[in-house]
Structure 1
């Protein structure tokens, strides 16, 4: 297997077929076809279904394509590093962040990190846990601070638990059911899920953990979004409900617009953790950021105060 074969494969996927890929790359279509066919033959795998409507990825092809794209991304980064001037090379850290740590933990650490390493840029990606973990595994992210899924198979990851997050059921101020005392009173409500839009909202962990534990039927899902802003905007303008971290309701941009329902069946806490790929060495810059995130969370736990109400005074 060669990098050129991987580039040919990704080009066919990106451009929607051999003919378009060949035109974009100014390569012969026959050459691209032979390159991908050789890759399939050498490894006894079928990557494309070749029907009358063109080439579409098989199940194996979809899985392999993610690895191919990750390999090419790292190869391009390595080439850029080699070609950059030795002096003045811009350093950066790629960090993935889910909802709650993006509101308090990371902003609290960022100021002190900038004081220690003022020339380093943090390239921050916001997303749901599944997307961030995939980003770490595919080498698109060096670090991720995210909710730790209960069913995560983490043999290829290094994980450090940071703190426990407290979720609440949130509704707009003045919601007709703002004084509800039990989940059973909310069965007729529509729900907003902050999660992976490609997955059924009723199967999201925030819904399963909340309703299945109390043997209640799954609620109606009005929308699934990976945008916290989109979820908050929808909640404020409707009678929908959502399970959100309590820190969202305390944030200055949201405070006073949403309320937490005081339910007997309080949602259980869940761990927020720092994740990285076990086989990928961290740069000095990424090591420093990981150490500061871990130290800040440890100090916050020790003082038993919500993250963000303290000023981080961490050093390398």
Structure 2
């Protein structure tokens, strides 16, 4: 098999048709069809179910996809690395970021990176660390910055800093002292990241803490975004969890009070990549920049 055949295969899967793959690669549709046919003939296995308007993978195609994507992306990274060595700063990089990235590094990192590499297209994805992990594992993202814990099979994990998780309420008496999980379940709770629910790393920590005390934490309201949860807390609907970095942002409502947990809880922020993957020089530079910003803003006892 050849890189051209694997590239045609991957782009056909991502685009849903040979026509979409041809458009993405700048070749004719018959060229894509011929490359796929040769790949199938070489292995004597069909890779696609050719029924309907959108391609579907056979079991052989599903088995090949992960390997093919890794080979194709490695070839792209190799090309970009050689381009970088020639001093041509162009191409694109895809990085997954944690939910509250803007409170930690996002705007400043993008600004500094774009000043240094104005010809590099920067693509940042992710609403939740769980989503970022799936993107890195599947190869859609080159690397990611996440909150731990995350499933780490097929991944390399490099912890950077930790940030304390606090409990937030509009009622000052509820957060006048460090808060226990027993106190939390006594009042209505508002939680964000509804789509990911207890797959969210911070929510999972909270749930496990409740289970350790024989309690069950049931949110009164679940919403998608942190900003919506804070607005509901400010309206007295319920209490929520929030990282210390968020409380230090200018947009954090003045009417909301916070307190630590009686057993301190932390979000550990880490860099992840696929095991044994080769990163492009540009994304290594971006990761180094993000790591420096995180460590600059974190207290010494929060650095790992």
When normalised by structure 1's length, the TM-score is 0.64
CA distance in 1, matches of 2:144, 2:287: 9
| Structure 2: runs of 5+ lacking an equivalent | none
**Residues 8 and 287 of structure 1: CA distance in aligned 2, closer, same or farther (over 3 Å):** closer
Matched residue, 1:276: 273
Contact 2:190 2:222 in 1 (8 A): yes
CA distance in 2, matches of 1:143, 1:33: 29
Q: In structure 1, the residue corresponding to 2:183 is in which secondary structure?
A: helix
CA distance in 1, matches of 2:60, 2:238: 39
Matched residue, 2:212: 213
Contact 1:109 1:296 in 2 (8 A): yes
**Residues 8 and 300 of structure 1: CA distance in aligned 2, closer, same or farther (over 3 Å):** closer
Matched residue, 2:291: 294
Q: CA deviation at 1:128?
A: 1.5
CA distance in 1, matches of 2:15, 2:92: 27
CA distance in 1, matches of 2:151, 2:293: 27
Q: In structure 1, the residue corresponding to 2:152 is in which secondary structure?
A: coil
| Structure 1: runs of 5+ lacking an equivalent | 307-316
CA distance in 1, matches of 2:110, 2:13: 40
**Residues 89 and 260 of structure 1: CA distance in aligned 2, closer, same or farther (over 3 Å):** same
Matched residue, 1:90: 90
The aligned runs of 1:129-278 (5 Å cut-off) are: 129-149=129-149, 151-153=151-153, 156-157=155-156, 159-171=157-169, 173=170, 181-187=179-185, 189-194=188-193, 197=195, 199=196, 201-202=197-198, 204-210=200-206, 211-220=210-219, 222-223=221-222, 225=224, 227-236=225-234, 239-256=237-254, 258-261=256-259, 263-264=261-262, 266-278=263-275
Q: CA deviation at 1:202?
A: 4.1
CA distance in 2, matches of 1:60, 1:220: 43
Contact 1:93 1:120 in 2 (8 A): no
RMSD: 4.9
Contact 2:103 2:246 in 1 (8 A): yes
Contact 2:158 2:272 in 1 (8 A): yes
